[in-house]
């Protein structure tokens, strides 16, 4: 029977590319979405070319009970916490609501998912969790105090969980994309100037993030845990 990979935020962008890549790798995909059912259905039709038993799942990652109720029916082998949100603005002008919503989505959401999925992983003594962080979480980024704090928090969460869950055979890693060609980056001001700061001279592609996720889920990464792998074209060498 195929292993199961749950990819959150698979209705567009990086999440869609990850879902398709893991389907090619042989996983049965649970392609999660929140509001964009049409996008999730498009993802599913691509995914099913490689993994016909895959399906879409809807829930709001901010509602812990919804997360728990939905995932309890599945034996999830791989969890990719990809769903995320940014609401940008300079710190002193940012509403408390914006700060809270971004931190809750990018940090609490993955926490709820990990708690729900890791219970069965612990019993099976195997599993793989990938958290999609961001370059902003590694370096900070003016105008993104909420987003950078949440994505830095996700790196701390990744390291801690690698220590807590490693003894039971569960690996936990993070991926930190730089500027990747998705809808998300088109709201960033000064985009062309930013491109000039990327040593490889271009934005990344969602498939290039998906390839790294695929590696981290694979047997080739069987001794890698607690790591944050940068996918940023060399923008800030770490
Ligand atoms: N693009 C970049 O350059 C870049 C760089 C660094 C890191 N990242 C990270 O990579 C991940 C994917 O980014 P992307 O560019 O592909 O973004 P995107 O196209 O905007 O996708 C975001 C996804 O998150 C889901 N989502 C948002 N809030 C949610 C909630 N409350 N509950 C459930 N799902 C929710 C959305 O679902 P619905 O649309 O279905 O509501 C959507 O599928 C994010 O974590 C982002 O922070 C992106």
Tokens representing 15 are: 């999440």
Could you tell which of 15, 16, 18, 86 is best to mutate to test the pocket of ligand 1, judged by most ligand atoms within 8 Å of the CB? 15
Count of positions (residues) in the chain: 238
Span of 100-104, 191-195, 216-220 with lowest mean pLDDT: 191-195
How far, in Å, CA of 220 to CA of 223, rounded?
8
Span of 32-41, 71-80, 188-197 with lowest mean pLDDT: 188-197
For position 217, what pLDDT does the model report?
98
pLDDT higher than 70, residue 185: yes
* Sheet of 170-177, strands arranged across: 55-58, 28-33, 4-7, 78-81, 127-132, 170-177, 228-231
Q: Name the pLDDT band for 223 (thresholds 50, 70, 90).
A: very high
Minimum CA distance residue for ligand 1 atom 46: 84
**CB of 57 closer than 6 A to ligand 1?**
no
Q: What is the atom index within ligand 1 of the atom nearest the CA of 180? A: 3
For position 238, what pLDDT does the model report?
65
For position 1, what pLDDT does the model report?
84
Where in the sequence numbering do the catalytic residues fall?
147
**Chain segment 117-161, per-residue pLDDT in tens:** 999 999 999 999 999 999 999 999 999 999 999 999 999 999 999
User: How confident is the model over 102-109, as a mean pLDDT?
Assistant: 98
**CB of 144 closer than 6 A to ligand 1?**
no
pLDDT higher than 80, residue 237: no
- DSSP bridge partners of 46: none
Minimum CA distance residue for ligand 1 atom 2: 180
For position 126, what pLDDT does the model report?
98
- Nearest alpha-carbon partner for 129 in 205, 71, 180, 90: 71
pLDDT higher than 90, residue 188: no
Taking a C-beta distance cutoff of 8 angstroms, is the pair 14, 203 a contact? no
Q: 3-class SS at 50?
A: coil
Q: Name the pLDDT band for 43 (thresholds 50, 70, 90).
A: very high
For position 118, what pLDDT does the model report?
97
Task: Calculate how far, in angstroms, residue 123's C-alpha sits from the geometric centre of ligand 1.
Answer: 30
User: How confident is the model over 180-193, as a mean pLDDT?
Assistant: 85
For position 184, what pLDDT does the model report?
79
**Proportion of the chain above pLDDT 90, given as a percent:** 93
| Fold assignment, 4-231 | Rossmann fold (3.40.50)
Task: Calculate how far, in angstroms, residue 83's C-alpha sits from the geometric centre of ligand 1.
Answer: 4
Q: What is the atom index within ligand 1 of the atom nearest the CA of 10? A: 43
Q: Name the pLDDT band for 203 (thresholds 50, 70, 90).
A: very high
| Domain ranges within the chain, ordered by starting residue | 4-231
**Chain segment 15-26, per-residue pLDDT in tens:** 999 999 999 999
Taking a C-beta distance cutoff of 8 angstroms, is the pair 73, 120 a contact? no
How far, in Å, CA of 65 to CA of 88, rounded?
28
């Amino acid at each position: 029977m195929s292993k199961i990979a749950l990819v959150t935020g698979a209705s567009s962008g990086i999440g869609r590319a990850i879902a398709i890549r893991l389907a090619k790798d042989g996983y049965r995909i649970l392609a999660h979405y929140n509001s964009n059912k049409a996008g999730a259905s498009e993802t599913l039709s691509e995914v099913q070319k490689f993994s016909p038993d895959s399906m879409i799942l809807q829930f709001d990652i901010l509602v812990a009970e919804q997360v728990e109720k939905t995932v309890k029916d599945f034996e999830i082998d791989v969890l990719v916490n990809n769903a995320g949100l940014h609401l940008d603005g300079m710190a002193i002008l940012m509403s408390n609501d914006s700060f809270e919503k971004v931190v809750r989505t990018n940090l609490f959401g993955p926490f709820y998912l990990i708690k729900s999925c890791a219970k069965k992983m612990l019993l099976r003594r195997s599993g793989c969790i990938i958290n999609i962080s961001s370059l902003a979480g590694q370096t900070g980024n003016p105008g993104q105090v909420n987003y950078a704090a949440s994505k830095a928090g996700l790196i701390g969460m990744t390291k801690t969980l690698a220590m807590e869950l490693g003894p039971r055979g569960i690996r936990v890693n993070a991926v930190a994309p730089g500027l990747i060609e998705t809808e998300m980056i088109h709201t960033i001001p000064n985009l062309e100037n930013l491109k000039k700061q990327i040593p490889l001279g271009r934005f990344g592609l969602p498939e290039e993030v998906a390839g790294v996720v695929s590696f981290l889920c694979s047997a080739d990464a069987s001794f890698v845990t607690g790591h944050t792998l940068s996918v940023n074209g060399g923008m800030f060498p770490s």
